[in-house]
Amino acid sequence: MNYSRFLTAVSAARRPSAIRILTELQQRSPPSLISLAGGAPNPDTFPFQFATIKVKNGDSIVFDEATMKRALQYSASPGIPELLSWMKGLQKSLHNPPTLAYSPENGQMEMCVTTGSQEGLCKVFEMLVNPGDNVLLDAPTYSGTLAALLPLGCNIINVPSDQHGMIPEALGDILSRWDPADAHAPGSSVPRVLYTIPNGGNPTGASMTAQRKQEVYELARKYDFLIIEDDPYYFLQFQKPWAPTFLSMDVDGRIIRTDSFSKILSSGLRIGFVTGPKPLVDRVVLHIQASTMHTSTFTQLMVSQLLQDWVWRRLTDLYYSRQVTALSRHHMTSLFPPLPVGLAEWHAPAAGMFLWIRLHGIADTKQLIMEKALEKEVLLVPGGVFNIDSSEACPYVRAAFSLSTPQQIDEFAQQIQGQSPRDSLVCHILSYCGHSLRQLPA
């Protein structure tokens, strides 16, 4: 793979930040090293001394004074070494990417820690997308992706999708307007990037089958484009075995995968990770050097200690028993038969936290949600915000069931009883949801 043709001029122009290199050198040196180099502040002057963080299973994470000093200090841009090596082990055991066997010049797998997967995504887009480039994705899609992509001035090509995600035949049709032989020609308009959310899509809840991934991957090989696999709901798949990922099929080194701890450990700690070919991940790290410098050392140490102490099995047990997955698995799959009177329809998701509901008889849900429902403090998102052009009419709403209790849903449904027909439509849907929630085991 020749990655240089994928890089924007800005990304290609990035050079290592001199002091960041010293910080990384220092991190790899023995503690006896006397460094007068990096501009690190003296942590003795910081007010925080030590910490004990209780974990829900009764364990504790203890930051003694020395660890606390490290947690409060600058650290290397790719991530702290113990967390990085833990995550590399995890990726190997979950996905065993074929690129692991490759030489460094040829797309050897690399990883870096990011401040949530959103940071990774934004930096990956800025590394790869030029104004005017054709970018493939299956809309409706995560609004944070659109927020990062649209200002880059690219031309987004929407690939048709259904409840199993992107449709490979439809992608093939779109691509057939180009000659694959032109992909490498200077100034070629053949798309060089495809973005997709393969599991429990936000907002659609759709999950791609292994077969579809393989077919999309073959098209990527034919037209020589990269695939950005944004998979924050990977760990929230309801069925086992979990679906094979694009990363696990990546014989060429054309997958950049973003993972997130937001939905399984904490969204507020802001931690995720990027996995992909080394030449590309190195570019993301250069961007990190110049922006956030690194994800909070405190956050990384806390997460790292949690993960070192736990075997992976216990972690999966933990979130399998947690509310998000339990709620989602029960009432998104078995407890949601289609609504009785044709008011609305949806597909039961196989992963994630979202139900994508089409309201019949409503051309656009924006006013319904942003005015009527917001007055009543309802937590639904009008579907239009996930469209490439957010001003387009959209008959869908996105419901996330990760936070609401049956009581909250009941309360809302009661509040809007007897309002206008449109309100009572929402009311009907919500009381139906509430009914389903009540059937859950405590």
Q: Which residues bind ligand PMP (CB under 6 A)?
A: 39, 293
Of the candidate spans 84-92, 112-120, 208-216, 343-351, the one that interacts with ligand PLP by CB under 6 A turns out to be 112-120
CA gap 173, 170 in Å, rounded: 5
Task: In angstroms, give the least distance from the CB of 45 to ligand PMP.
Answer: 15
Select the residue interacting with ligand PLP from 140, 232, 253, 349 (CB under 6 A): 232
- Closest CB 440 distance from ligand PMP, rounded Å: 45
**Residue number, 293 or 324, with CB nearest to ligand PMP:** 293
Within 113-142, the residues that bind ligand PLP by CB under 6 A are 116-118, 142
Q: How far is the CB of 271 from ligand PLP (least distance, A)?
A: 7
Residues 399-438 that bind ligand PLP (CB under 6 A): none
Whole-number Å distance between alpha carbons of 397 and 376? 16
CB of 354 to ligand PLP, least distance (A): 8
**Under rule CB under 6 A, residue 143 binds ligand PLP:** no
Closest CA to 405 of 322, 323, 318, 320: 323
Closest CB to ligand PLP belongs to which residue?
116
| Cβ atoms of 306 and 55 closer than 8 Å | yes
Minimum CB–partner distance for residue 226 and ligand PLP (Å) = 17
Q: Distance between CA atoms of 292 and 319, rounded to whole angstroms?
A: 29
Tokens 């339990």 belong to residue:
326
Q: Which stretch binds ligand PLP (CB under 6 A): 110-118, 178-186, 302-310, 421-429?
A: 110-118
Q: Which is nearer to ligand PLP, 159 or 413 (CB)?
A: 159
**How many residues in the chain?**
442
Please state the closest distance from residue 197 (CB atom) to ligand PLP, in A: 4
Nearest CB to ligand PLP, comparing residues 26 and 115: 115
204 scored as a contact of ligand PLP (CB under 6 A): no
Judged by CB under 6 A, how many residues of this single chain contact ligand PLP? 13
Q: Confirm or reject binding of residue 229 to ligand PLP (CB under 6 A).
A: no
Residue 274 makes contact with ligand PLP by CB under 6 A: no
- 272 is an interface residue for ligand PLP by CB under 6 A: yes
Residue 267 touches which member of ligand PLP, ligand PMP, none, C-beta under 5-8 Å by kind: ligand PLP
Binding of residue 205 to ligand PLP (CB under 6 A): no
Read off the amino acid at residue 208. Answer: M
142 binds, among ligand PMP, ligand PLP, none (CB under 5 to 8 A by kind): ligand PLP
Task: Specify the residue, 116 or 165, whose C-beta has the smaller distance to ligand PLP.
Answer: 116
Q: Nearer to ligand PMP by C-beta: 296 or 328?
A: 296
Q: The tokens 């093939």 sit on which residue?
A: 172
> Footprint of ligand PLP on this chain (CB under 6 A)?
116-118, 142, 144, 197, 202, 230, 232, 260, 262, 267, 272
